[in-house]
Amino acid sequence: MTLTGWYASWKPVPIDESRVKASRVEDVPGNLARMKAEAARGTGSVDLILAADTVVIDDGDILGKPATEAEALQMLRRLRGRTHRVVTAVALFSSAAHEMNIENCETSVTMRAYGERELLDYVRGGSPMDKAGAYGIQDERFSPVDAAKMSGCYANVMGLPLCHLARAMRRLGYEAPNNVPASCQNATGYTCPVYRSILRGDV
């Protein structure tokens, strides 16, 4: 993970997401991230385990990864020109402290009023198929999000809120070698209005 100066090895851990129980939709990513971290603990001995999960929430419904192009089109038409929420949970397990930390981040996302032809081209290109809500904020050619109307963390919508990660790591005694907010904003081109509040622990 070179953006922050921390390096990580990646290990997929299959979990049964249908087992996740939550009384509120906002709690689903935290429960999933915890399940992933717990599953990773059983695969070997490491100092730190990072797991994360992101959900797109629209009118109380979770929009997951589309199974078909038709489902992707349905999701993107539903979201077009409207505002929804993206919630990511970061689970960080320290073997030394035998402690699990969960960080939650929420961003209010407004989609632009993209046209039907560009929507069809985007879906046929295949990019939406592995993304919650059927879109990637980083997909520059389609550019689904009206960034000027977005409120919150950009990296959260990509799937890993870096300042929340830095805050959790600092809590465990790890300081990032790089300036995380500056690196994130340089990479995304987004002027973040919330990083100071996140690092202070206000949100």
Residue 80 is which amino acid?
Answer: R
Q: 107, 72 in Cβ contact below 8 A?
A: no
What is the Cα–Cα distance from 58 to 51, expressed in whole angstroms? 24
Displacement of CA 181 from its chain's centroid (Å): 16
Count how many Cα atoms sit within 13 Å of the Cα of residue 176 in the half-sphere of its side chain.
Answer: 23
Which residues have a catalytic role annotated? Answer: 53
Q: 66, 53 in Cβ contact below 8 A?
A: no
H-helix segments, 28-173: 28-41, 69-79, 116-124, 154-158, 162-171
